[in-house]
Structure 1
């Protein structure tokens, strides 16, 4: 069991040696190795697949691995999109780009993400999940997704634990470098986007000691966009004035997005090997992500009018409202991670330690949302399909197309800032033992994490502008919107010049400003963990078991906001009839997490695994926020989105069984089953029927309300199976396929008189996640065609009516990557992303919730490498 601390030289071996090493796993005959080397023509794709498979086989947990070279074979620009190729992994997309990662179909907030062993903070205001698209794939050494845990790992993972490893120069021999340039083209927006990336490693011999220096950098400016039609609210049963009844929508929005995203990533790693059994390191990562977004929107506010007639496929309202608005937003996110640590083996004892600092922030300066309004129109739709076809009454069509008919109604200017900071320390001590003549290791350790997440939200709403302005003063003749006729848009330049010149004379809506600016919060989370773990190596088996203890101290400070016509005792009146009082919450809880992982080499080719683990996932910060995200009150209509700091964490018992077959030639087939028993799952629900409306509007009358709040459900189960297959052929063909089938059942904990079923599937859980990759490599040419599929997922739950639950439709995307390597180290590459033009679609009862198109994009690149 004695360790030798060294880098993973296997990844830097010549391809023929690497293939031979993988082919001869668990065999001792040198003859077999020689025969395998003589038979197989090794390609880069084969070598990359071999490396991934070998690391998976040798692990003492259920894990999926992808090295940087394997990532480079596919058109994946960031960590999120690279992870989607792995068994059981699905992603959530934003504007067509992969952002958040789910494992085994489970909500991304239920995963843990670490880089070089330290937790990553989340710059988003509401999320605990890290949007891994901010990390360029060029900075990676490997990605590992652990589906079972050992006691030396953090217990805050029900879906999976994602470990990102950055470059380590000691994995290379001497000096190596790579530089690449590329350009991507968005077919929908007809825009070009350049990218530049490079990495460099050098190993210095310091008289028996080695210093490895690794530096990587990447910068991309990507211009693209999307076209969207979505329902604000849900389709529900409505009755018209003529007595007809059918499902109808309260408000439908048409949205056109133009986006520029810039990503800059830097990594600098120092690894100092003092001896074969001792090293120290300093690893750092910096990522800067900015998103400049211009959104043109038509809001068909149908429920502001009177419903005249309705059928299953059409409806008409009189005296309705049509709004046109522009969102002009720049958002910047930064992540910094710095880790100092060391590993030292001292005969039978060993120690590992690490001190880490992580900082993430999101700034949204000078965001501007401007709205124009026209009332009294006859509006409706003549088709209620995936993309409802909107219609204007014949007598009102001219007014709907006339910019001068839209009055300037509101300008909202926001300055928002979110910060997430964590300091962590861990120390692990291990000792070699003999148990019944079998080598074993006892390991125990301590980890301390201190985290603070803050949000500073500032919004000013203006509703008076010193004159009667209309859209005609800021009109843009046309908006390039392919889903339907859009009508006039808003000229951003003209509007910003107007705001700059006249803002000092604008009239402030004090009530709306006070409501929107009282969303500040501070949340502190301190986690102390202790563990003990014992691993034993038998002749053909490996056993790892132990227990982990975690204590969590959580506190949240925010604001309670009440719009009321009477004085609220103990609260400060910040605007007329708007009262704010501090909201504080604190709780401590602790848990024990036992686990056992068993691995058995049944034959030289077959590996069996079994595991039982207990874990938890803390609710997202948005769910825990004591300050309401949104409070809107208008003439008896109330809409609230609130948090719930009293939420309990998810708790899970996890069972895993798998069998893996490794062929003598490059090939692997695995089948596994898993079962999770989950308590306290969290669901965002419409709690209007049980909510106390006085806490939001005091004594003001409420005729219609919608209160959305996260709540703990009762219990849930998730049962599934995972299949994975890799096969290489002598003719250069490589096939990789995986599929995860899952079925979940969650109890909402409703009473016997509930108006809906008490059973749902787990929110965000997909019943099927799969990948199919066909690769071919011969001589200098390399091709890969890949398909990813994610099944239907539950998005939102309505506690009163299951017909109002919202689901995200299944999603299948096809990508292509082609590379040609020249003898001098140059490589030419071409990629096509989303070649099948797959949209995003969300619905309730088959009616539109959100339909969004992104279009295909194409990437042409050139690189030079000595790696």
Structure 2
């Protein structure tokens, strides 16, 4: 047990040139090579990039699962500010971005919600209101020891993973010799916003010799960054659909298009403090802690071109242009600050008792998100002739010639609505695990029998409040709060809203504003409490054969889930058993409970076919529980206006995804630095979940009672039938004597999912698996010679389906291909200093979301440049 622990820790250590040489010699000895001395030493690559690649490859080779590994030094070679962006460089991994920054992680092209994330062996909570997947951008990359992405599971791992299991390991002082430290300072510059962003980080480790031969390792890491940046956006509210104009022309068109300009300040503060006490050669205790504080201050200027404000048809329409005669232009300001905290504490121990071994850990994790005093303020001008003169990726919006001056006059926009929100979300989990192992013989082969118990108790709650004001005691206009024309590169924007002047007005007059009781009641009936208790027991056996290793066993997981929330009806009639919280708004408390359990068998087989070739095969079963937003019994939004109904709601009756997974791979390891692997995988997924417009089958009375509904859009997650996903994964690494290092990987997937609508469905029954990308790839060129190091990286993510229209496939919403190029250049001085320059998104790659090729969202972020200085003794 202890020897295995020490081996894993050695493999986790950052490799120096000497360590790289030792690994090469050991690998040669294990492969039975006789060429030692000068001949062997000539093949050893001693550059830092090559050493880091060698470490990652060696850990992958020794694993009894299909895994991708990245150590802390390798993470630092590219300009990745957080865990999410570091993970995108690994085979089969892609990221979902927010404002150009990576937030959520997907594996093998699969939806990020279908992954599990743990830190130091314990699961991470999610501070976001609706998410189960953790936005790993809240964890600075400076706090990491390594990242591991497991693509097959063993019974001692949580079954809650269909895409992959992500393990984050923070620093451990026992992985280093004596006292070490690293300090870094950097500044980045946003080309789009012309803003600077400073960052400071430091790491300290030390090993203290105690009485009786004991050792205490202390590792502390801290990081703080304030990033000032932004984006420019044009997006469609809803989808492009068929319109018939007053003149009889027909074409696809959009009823509402928005121009958005974002100015953002994001602050990340991370702190890790890890204590490892080695009691003896066979016993140790540890306390690992991680704290992350993340804030996001966002100012959004928005123009909403409400083209069918009066529910009128366009005057004219074509494939590329349209005109509405009685439209509205709404100018609004979102002023909000999100504050997120994550705390993770893990206390545990590892003890080797001769033939027996015992590991245990008690974990506590807490996450919260506060959105205090968010303000959304809208000014509107009606009766305009509006439209667009270009459709497609970036619609070109236009004002009729007679209304051009009026549209630019701030005095023509009346203060229409103010919404103030105070939201708080909390996610808390207590967990415990105990793993017991016993060394045995199986048919004369060394073996380990292992069994254990894992318990998790989780509660997620939301306290969401929104107050809507629609009367302000006077006729205020945008001219009272106007700022100069907004600097917006995607078209003419016109005047914006001065945040300071508006906030001073609100603070001085809020008590005199009229409250819209109906909208306030609808916006404040979104509270929820969800509890999820998971109990698991497993037994597994690892057998070391002559040239092979077999790991097999079964895991049993039982889940108890409950949800409390509200059912909300906006109706002209009373609702039986409901409380009337405002005129014509009725609220009923609702409670849901469900439980389910399942056995998860798994087999992982590894075979050393030759000294250079490793073959693997695995069969595993797993599940993924629905996201908390999908399970929320309280509707996120209900809007009803003159026969038009729009609803966003969860579905607490959802079943979890269930998957059967097959994996086969072959890996070739060269005698010097080189590796090539080819893997194929197949997944059958039952009960997959898709967000769909269910208006064609929905019961409108549950939202509006007896009120008439002429047109409706009801977005709700529903279970589909069965999906299959088949893919191939390639990875290649090659180092050269001249200092060149090439790394490339690509994952190709193809999926087919049955919606279960039947033969009479208005649209086809089969779709792609939601949020699945057909191609994910990376290509990295590294060069290192003497003190100079360069890394050029390209990441690619293929198109993926985001939303499904159950009536018409033309309304399905997709995220387009995304390819980003990043550069890092480093120069190391002899005194331990290192100078770094990097560029992120050098090609200014935008985000594009569409339906049938028409705009859903187009957003540009620009390029960010960074200059930094680091001093390190590691």
TM category, shorter? over 0.9
Q: Do 2:850 and 2:856's aligned partners in 1 also have CA atoms closer than 8 Å?
A: yes
Alpha-carbon distance, 1:765 to partner: 0.4
1:650 aligns with 2:657: yes
Alpha-carbon distance, 1:39 to partner: 3.9
In the TM superposition, 1:786-825 aligns within 5 A as: 786-825=793-832
Rounded Cα–Cα distance in structure 1 between residues aligned with 2:264 and 2:24 = 45
1:635 matched to which residue of 2?
Answer: 642
1:294 matched to which residue of 2?
Answer: 299
* Comparing 582-591 and 29-38, the one that deviates more: 29-38
Rounded Cα–Cα distance in structure 1 between residues aligned with 2:245 and 2:575 = 40
Determine helix, strand or coil for the equivalent of 2:308.
helix
Q: TM-score, normalised by structure 1?
A: 0.99
Q: Do 1:23 and 1:663's aligned partners in 2 also have CA atoms closer than 8 Å?
A: no
Rounded Cα–Cα distance in structure 1 between residues aligned with 2:56 and 2:90 = 11
Alpha-carbon distance, 1:671 to partner: 0.2
Alpha-carbon distance, 1:752 to partner: 1.5
Q: Do 1:549 and 1:590's aligned partners in 2 also have CA atoms closer than 8 Å?
A: yes
1:336 aligns with 2:343: yes
Determine helix, strand or coil for the equivalent of 1:233.
coil
Alpha-carbon distance, 1:276 to partner: 1.4
1:166 matched to which residue of 2?
Answer: 170
Determine helix, strand or coil for the equivalent of 1:574.
strand
Alpha-carbon distance, 1:5 to partner: 3.8
2:412 matched to which residue of 1?
Answer: 405
1:624 matched to which residue of 2?
Answer: 631
1:458 matched to which residue of 2?
Answer: 465
Alpha-carbon distance, 1:18 to partner: 1.9
Q: Do 1:261 and 1:289's aligned partners in 2 also have CA atoms closer than 8 Å?
A: yes
2:23 matched to which residue of 1?
Answer: 21
Alpha-carbon distance, 1:192 to partner: 0.2
Once the two structures are superposed, what CA deviation does each residue of 1:602-657 show, in whole Å capped at 9, x if it has no partner?
00100000000000000000000000000001111110001000000000000000
Alpha-carbon distance, 1:16 to partner: 2.9
1:717 aligns with 2:724: yes
Unaligned runs of 5+ in 1: none
Once the two structures are superposed, what CA deviation does each residue of 1:784-808 show, in whole Å capped at 9, x if it has no partner?
0000000000011000000010111
Once the two structures are superposed, what CA deviation does each residue of 1:805-864 show, in whole Å capped at 9, x if it has no partner?
011100000000000000000000000000000000001011000000000000000010
The correspondence for 1:693, drawn from 674, 688, 700, is 700
Determine helix, strand or coil for the equivalent of 1:477.
strand
Rounded Cα–Cα distance in structure 1 between residues aligned with 2:258 and 2:43 = 61
Alpha-carbon distance, 1:20 to partner: 4.0
Distance change in 2, residues 1:39/1:105 (3 Å): closer
2:491 matched to which residue of 1?
Answer: 484
Q: Count residues with an aligned counterpart.
A: 867
Alpha-carbon distance, 1:227 to partner: 0.1
Rounded Cα–Cα distance in structure 1 between residues aligned with 2:838 and 2:512 = 52
* Comparing 651-660 and 472-481, the one that deviates more: 472-481
1:232 matched to which residue of 2?
Answer: 237
Once the two structures are superposed, what CA deviation does each residue of 1:707-746 show, in whole Å capped at 9, x if it has no partner?
1110000000000000000000000000000000000000
Determine helix, strand or coil for the equivalent of 1:400.
helix
1:370 matched to which residue of 2?
Answer: 377
Alpha-carbon distance, 1:701 to partner: 1.5
Alpha-carbon distance, 1:14 to partner: 4.2
Rounded Cα–Cα distance in structure 2 between residues aligned with 1:39 and 1:445 = 44
Q: Do 2:2 and 2:281's aligned partners in 1 also have CA atoms closer than 8 Å?
A: no
The correspondence for 2:867, drawn from 855, 860, 864, is 860
Determine helix, strand or coil for the equivalent of 1:234.
coil
Alpha-carbon distance, 1:30 to partner: 6.5
Rounded Cα–Cα distance in structure 2 between residues aligned with 1:817 and 1:860 = 10
* Comparing 257-266 and 274-283, the one that deviates more: 274-283
Which consecutive segments of 4 or more residues in structure 1 shift more than 6 A?
none
1:431 aligns with 2:438: yes
1:671 matched to which residue of 2?
Answer: 678
Rounded Cα–Cα distance in structure 2 between residues aligned with 1:45 and 1:116 = 26
Rounded Cα–Cα distance in structure 1 between residues aligned with 2:43 and 2:660 = 46
The correspondence for 1:754, drawn from 750, 758, 761, is 761
Rounded Cα–Cα distance in structure 2 between residues aligned with 1:791 and 1:23 = 41
Distance change in 2, residues 1:263/1:13 (3 Å): closer
1:177 aligns with 2:174: no
Alpha-carbon distance, 1:478 to partner: 1.2
Determine helix, strand or coil for the equivalent of 2:359.
strand
Determine helix, strand or coil for the equivalent of 2:830.
coil
Rounded Cα–Cα distance in structure 2 between residues aligned with 1:422 and 1:217 = 24
* Comparing 819-828 and 34-43, the one that deviates more: 34-43
The correspondence for 2:202, drawn from 175, 198, 201, is 198
Q: Do 2:119 and 2:169's aligned partners in 1 also have CA atoms closer than 8 Å?
A: yes
Determine helix, strand or coil for the equivalent of 1:159.
coil
The correspondence for 1:586, drawn from 590, 593, 607, is 593
1:682 aligns with 2:683: no
Once the two structures are superposed, what CA deviation does each residue of 1:478-511 show, in whole Å capped at 9, x if it has no partner?
1010000100100000000000000010000000
Rounded Cα–Cα distance in structure 2 between residues aligned with 1:704 and 1:121 = 39
Determine helix, strand or coil for the equivalent of 1:304.
coil
Alpha-carbon distance, 1:33 to partner: 6.7
Alpha-carbon distance, 1:751 to partner: 2.1
1:348 matched to which residue of 2?
Answer: 355
Rounded Cα–Cα distance in structure 1 between residues aligned with 2:16 and 2:843 = 38
The correspondence for 1:264, drawn from 266, 269, 274, is 269
Rounded Cα–Cα distance in structure 1 between residues aligned with 2:659 and 2:144 = 31
Q: Do 1:20 and 1:36's aligned partners in 2 also have CA atoms closer than 8 Å?
A: no
Rounded Cα–Cα distance in structure 1 between residues aligned with 2:600 and 2:694 = 33
1:61 matched to which residue of 2?
Answer: 65
Q: TM-score, normalised by structure 2?
A: 0.98
Once the two structures are superposed, what CA deviation does each residue of 1:543-565 show, in whole Å capped at 9, x if it has no partner?
00000000000000000000111
In the TM superposition, 1:228-627 aligns within 5 A as: 228-305=233-310, 306=312, 307-627=314-634
* Comparing 262-271 and 701-710, the one that deviates more: 701-710
Q: Do 1:341 and 1:355's aligned partners in 2 also have CA atoms closer than 8 Å?
A: yes
Rounded Cα–Cα distance in structure 1 between residues aligned with 2:637 and 2:2 = 58
Once the two structures are superposed, what CA deviation does each residue of 1:340-360 show, in whole Å capped at 9, x if it has no partner?
000001000000000000000
Rounded Cα–Cα distance in structure 2 between residues aligned with 1:704 and 1:787 = 45
Alpha-carbon distance, 1:435 to partner: 1.0
Q: Do 1:23 and 1:33's aligned partners in 2 also have CA atoms closer than 8 Å?
A: no
Q: Do 2:14 and 2:72's aligned partners in 1 also have CA atoms closer than 8 Å?
A: no
Q: Do 2:631 and 2:651's aligned partners in 1 also have CA atoms closer than 8 Å?
A: yes
Distance change in 2, residues 1:2/1:473 (3 Å): closer
The correspondence for 1:92, drawn from 92, 96, 108, is 96
Determine helix, strand or coil for the equivalent of 2:761.
coil
Rounded Cα–Cα distance in structure 2 between residues aligned with 1:170 and 1:653 = 39
Unaligned runs of 5+ in 2: none
Question: Over the residues paired in the alignment, what is the CA RMSD in angstroms?
Answer: 1.0
Rounded Cα–Cα distance in structure 1 between residues aligned with 2:226 and 2:769 = 37
Determine helix, strand or coil for the equivalent of 2:629.
helix
Rounded Cα–Cα distance in structure 2 between residues aligned with 1:149 and 1:761 = 25
Q: Do 1:22 and 1:51's aligned partners in 2 also have CA atoms closer than 8 Å?
A: no
Alpha-carbon distance, 1:23 to partner: 5.9
Alpha-carbon distance, 1:15 to partner: 1.4
Rounded Cα–Cα distance in structure 2 between residues aligned with 1:651 and 1:437 = 37
Alpha-carbon distance, 1:703 to partner: 1.5
The correspondence for 1:745, drawn from 743, 752, 764, is 752
Determine helix, strand or coil for the equivalent of 1:530.
strand
Determine helix, strand or coil for the equivalent of 1:326.
strand
Alpha-carbon distance, 1:13 to partner: 5.6
Determine helix, strand or coil for the equivalent of 2:541.
strand
2:36 matched to which residue of 1?
Answer: 32
Once the two structures are superposed, what CA deviation does each residue of 1:548-588 show, in whole Å capped at 9, x if it has no partner?
00000000000000011111110000000100000110001
